[in-house]
């Protein structure tokens, strides 16, 4: 079904490593960006499902690390438990959707989602959703995020927009979004493994990709203390939008 990774050229492996490094750089600097930044470029070099499968080890390991950022896990879990639970249940029930979508359609869907989330950062959505609406908004956003993630591996965009409108603090955002990525990624990647999309060869290479990801995260964390967040986000948004539009182009033509 997929070409063996042993047939991938050294140049392609180098480009894949750079893509993971860039994703780690973004995640270290702004708390998000590993799938958003890495996936579009990896999907240019590999089939979409294989590209998504390649993210399994770095996505799960880095989000386990960030879930415990600043000791906010318990407080955020208590506040957003219904959102997280809904994402987890939806991801489990809808995890097979990703293998039933045509590759070109999947590329367009991923590109569209990525471009939209980048543009939302440019628009700067208004802040101020009252706390009383959490009761119904948390599970609703969780449902939407679970469905979107099940066909694209991008569970973050709906939650990212929601938390931006809530005006959540930066540290709290990092913890909540890490929980979202984690509970969404586990059932998705487990299903890809059971269906034979994620092979032992991909798992080994995925584990190796944690090296450039960790290096990128370390550099991103270092840069975060030295460059303005606003400037870095402008660069990140530009990369995300361009990458998303390029995926749409590849899916259409």
> What pLDDT, in 10s, does the model give residues 65-110?
889 988 999 999 999 999 999 999 998 888 777 777 676 777 787 7
Distance CA 114, CA 110 (A): 6
The model's pTM is 0.78
Q: How far apart are CA 135 and CA 82, in angstroms?
A: 8
Structure tokens at 198: 């994620």
Please enumerate in sequence order all residues whose Cβ is within 8 A of that of 147, keeping only pairs 6 or more positions apart, or say none.
90, 94, 97
User: Which comes out higher in pLDDT, residue 62 or 148?
Assistant: 62
Residue 223: name the closest of 59, 33, 57, 39 by CA.
33
Name the token pair of 166.
Answer: 């809530």
Yes or no: say if 145 and 184 are a contact pair by the CB < 8 Å rule. yes
**Residue written as token pair 């390029």:** 246
Cα dist from 134 to 90, 119, 141, 205, whole Å: 19, 25, 10, 40
Please give the pLDDT value at position 208.
92
Region 223-228: what's the mean pLDDT? 77
* pLDDT value of position 215: 96
Inter-residue contact 158 to 145 (CB < 8 Å) = yes
* Mean predicted lDDT score pLDDT of the chain: 83
Band of pLDDT at residue 224, cut at 50, 70 and 90: confident
**pLDDT tens readout for residues 120-168:** 767 665 566 788 889 999 999 999 888 888 877 778 778 877 887 787 8
């Amino acid at each position: 079904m997929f070409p063996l990774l042993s047939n991938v050229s050294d140049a392609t492996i180098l480009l894949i490593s750079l893509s993971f490094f860039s994703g780690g750089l973004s995640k270290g600097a702004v708390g998000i960006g590993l799938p958003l930044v890495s996936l579009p470029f990896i999907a240019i070099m590999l089939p979409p499902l294989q590209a998504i499968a390649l993210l399994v080890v770095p996505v799960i390991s880095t989000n386990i690390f960030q879930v415990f950022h600043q000791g906010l896990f318990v407080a955020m879990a208590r506040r957003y438990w219904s959102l997280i639970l809904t994402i987890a249940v939806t991801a489990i029930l809808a995890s097979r959707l990703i293998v039933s979508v045509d590759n070109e359609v999947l590329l367009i869907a991923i590109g569209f989602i990525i471009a939209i989330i980048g543009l939302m950062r440019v628009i700067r959505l208004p802040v101020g959703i009252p706390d009383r609406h959490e009761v119904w908004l948390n599970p609703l956003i969780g449902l939407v995020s679970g469905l979107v993630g099940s066909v694209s591996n991008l569970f973050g965009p709906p939650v990212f927009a929601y938390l931006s409108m809530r005006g959540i603090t930066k540290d709290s955002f990092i913890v909540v979004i890490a929980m979202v990525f984690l509970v969404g990624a586990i059932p998705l990647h487990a299903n890809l493994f059971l269906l034979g999309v994620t092979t032992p060869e991909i798992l080994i290479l995925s584990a190796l990709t944690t090296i450039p990801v960790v290096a990128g995260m370390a550099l991103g964390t270092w840069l975060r203390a030295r460059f303005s967040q606003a400037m870095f986000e402008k660069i990140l948004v530009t990369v995300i939008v361009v990458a998303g539009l390029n995926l749409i182009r590849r899916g259409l033509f």
